[in-house]
Amino acid sequence: MAPTPPRVIPRAEHIVSRSHISPNALRVLYRLRDAGFQAFLVGGCVRDLLLGLDPKDFDVATDALPEQVKRLFRNCRLVGRRFRLAHVFFGQETIEVATFRASTAPSQGEEPEIEEEEVEEAEGEEGEILDLGGPVTEPRAARYEATHAPVGVIQEGDLDPDAVRMFDETGRILRDNVYGTINDDVWRRDFTANSLYYNVADFSIWDYVGGVEDIAARRLRLIGDPETRYREDPVRMLRAARFEAKLGFQIDPATAEPIARLRELLGGVPPARLFDETLKLFLTGHGARSLEVLRRRGLLTALMPNVEAYLARHPGSLVEKLLLKGLANTDARVGAGRPVAPTFLLSVLLYGPIAQIIEAMPPSRWHELSAILEACDQAVREAQTHIAIPKRLALGVREMFAMQPRLEYPRGRRALRLLAHPKFRAGYDLLLLRAEFGMASSDVARWWTQLQEASGEERERMADAQGQGGERPAGQKSRRRRRPRRRAPGPT
Ligand code: ATP
Ligand code: MG
């Protein structure tokens, strides 16, 4: 493609201020610039800054090769296989630095850019509590250190011997089959709004694709021919839905039209990638809107067909209300910068399918623990055919549902032990939701709330008072079939 000059929007004509850019991202940009490379912020962060939003992360694009980036930053690791990326670490913040991609490079998102071990790290010590997005945190200690290796020079070993590359007289790479120039890089991106470059050399914005205008019109438009772009990477359909939900943009008609025809192509996407997209759709602060957009665009079927089937068959049901409220609660947590639990999300999404499986069993089994567990396993298995739910989360769903009868019928001091269960908080949140929609006693939900607020001594008193209801009579399997003697627990 003949190089197209970008429209350059000078600093005086746009609102992106350095005071809104992560200091670490600025450090990376300055260092690359000072070493003689081109360096731009690119993608979602430029879009969000233009919208006055707080970007969730900052991505950098450069003409420096990954190995050259690595030499500039000691706190740097190269990731990715065919297309290598540099991750520069600053305490909790990671700045991703990508060399401009050539037109033959694998597309963004085509291969996992984050290695398994890093995903584990990102999930933190609390097991499955994820902190996706939220405001950018200041680094605890900026471990920004430079090595003294010469930079800006291509050294032996920097280049893949199989790659065909062209260089200009300064050794700057012009073209190869993996890395390219900014002029190649831009066309590989998905939406015009995601394809703006903020140039650290003069703080201007480079726009090759009309992205600035589309952002101003709050319009989501794929670069190039939409059908071709979806066929290249069907995940772009989910990304369209995500940005529609997140940004409230209108999807341009030509970009929206092929989705209904092509959504089946998502069946060919690796389930692990679809699972990642599911988390981004539902755990980054706009989950309730994501559900609405996914359903309207016929995309929920591609991710969780059993959830779509349940909702379609039971419009306006209590389960749907519970799901919407669960998503709204999760969105509120993200908005407040609090961590969110994927297990809780999966439990509210799968609530309908699980309930339906239980209801299809003989009524005598409805309240058996084994029935609850079987239903959880089956609903997760159905979902697994599309999205790769990690085993640990599948077990978490089981634990949350298995905990419900124990929460509903607390028995003496055993209740106190439940407080220490690693899934207690998520299980309690589910109990509160169920109580809100009449699926569990609100008295008992309140009792658990008070129990958590009480001092140690007070807790024991509450638990003992609760325990006076006595053990279940021997031989009675189901506690739920009869009204518990003490539904409204203790005084206070
Ligand atoms: P978010 O705010 O959710 O992080 P984002 O636009 O930054 O949104 P990322 O998934 O972080 O999304 O991707 C960064 C950039 O990489 C995008 O803005 C886009 O330019 C490009 N990109 C990501 N995935 C794809 C894809 N599947 N096809 C083409 N370009 C993509
Ligand atoms: Mg991003």
Measured CA angle at 228 (ends 180, 192), to 5 deg: 60
* DSSP letters for 150-202: --SS--TTSS-TTS--EE-TTS-EEE-SSB--HHHHGGGSSBGGG-EEEETTT
Measured CA angle at 210 (ends 207, 213), to 5 deg: 110
Domain with CATH 3.30.460.10 in the chain: 7-217
Domain with CATH 1.10.3090.10 in the chain: 304-468
**Taking a C-beta distance cutoff of 8 angstroms, is the pair 238, 299 a contact?**
yes
**Taking a C-beta distance cutoff of 8 angstroms, is the pair 164, 176 a contact?**
yes
Give the active site residue among 48, 63, 190, 207: 190
Q: Report which secondary-structure segment, H or E, holds 61.
A: strand 59-62
Instruction: Please compute, for residue 8, the number of CA atoms within 13 A of its CA located in the half-sphere on the CB side.
Output: 11
Residues with CB under 6 A from ligand 1: 43-44, 56-57, 59, 107-109, 189-190, 194-195, 233, 235-236
51 C-alpha to center of ligand 1: Å? 16
Task: Return d(Cα 334, Cα 307) in angstroms, integer.
Answer: 23
* Residue with the two structure tokens 């706190």: 75
The neighbouring-strand residues paired with 86 are 78, 97
Task: Return d(Cα 427, Cα 424) in angstroms, integer.
Answer: 5
Q: Cα dihedral sign for 105, 111, 116, 118?
A: positive
Per-residue tens of pLDDT for the chain, all 492 residues: 567 899 999 999 999 999 999 999 999 999 999 999 999 999 999 999 999 999 989 999 999 999 999 999 999 999 987 788 999 999 999 999 999 998 766 666 554 444 433 433 333 333 344 444 333 232 222 222 222 233 444 555 555 544 445 555 555 444 445 888 999 999 999 999 999 999 999 999 999 999 999 999 999 999 999 999 999 999 999 999 999 999 999 999 999 999 999 999 999 999 999 999 999 999 999 999 999 999 999 999 999 999 999 999 999 999 999 999 999 999 999 999 999 999 999 999 999 999 999 999 999 998 899 999 999 999 999 999 999 999 999 999 999 999 999 999 988 888 899 999 999 999 999 999 999 999 999 999 999 999 999 988 999 999 888 766 544 433 334 444 444 443 333 333
CA distances from 390 to 127, 347, 393 (A): 12, 14, 5
CA distances from 81 to 75, 84, 231, 303, 399 (A): 20, 6, 23, 27, 37
Task: Specify the CATH class of 7-217 in words.
Answer: alpha beta
Q: Exposed (0-12), middle (13-18) or buried (19+): which is 148, by Cβ within 10 Å?
A: exposed
Q: Which atom of ligand 1 is found nearest the CA of 59?
A: 14
Give the active site residue among 34, 57, 158, 377: 57
* Residue with the two structure tokens 């584990």: 120
Q: Provide the Cα torsion 111, 117, 119, 121; round to 10°.
A: -160
**Taking a C-beta distance cutoff of 8 angstroms, is the pair 177, 104 a contact?**
yes
Residue of minimum CA distance from atom 15 in ligand 1: 43
For residue 182, the tally of other CB atoms under 10 A from its CB is 20
Residue of minimum CA distance from atom 21 in ligand 1: 189
Instruction: Determine phi and psi for 248, rounding to 5 degrees.
Output: 70, 25
User: Is 429 among the residues known to form the active site?
Assistant: no
Q: Which atom of ligand 1 is found nearest the CA of 236?
A: 27
Global pTM?
A: 0.83
Q: Which of 51, 113, 189, 207 to mutate to test the pocket of ligand 1 (most atoms within 8 A of CB)?
A: 189
CATH of domain 304-468: 1.10.3090.10
Q: What residues contact 106, with CB distance under 8 A and at least 6 apart?
A: 82, 83
**Ramachandran area for residue 55 (φ above 0: left; ψ -120 to 50: alpha; else beta):** beta
User: Is 59 among the residues known to form the active site?
Assistant: yes
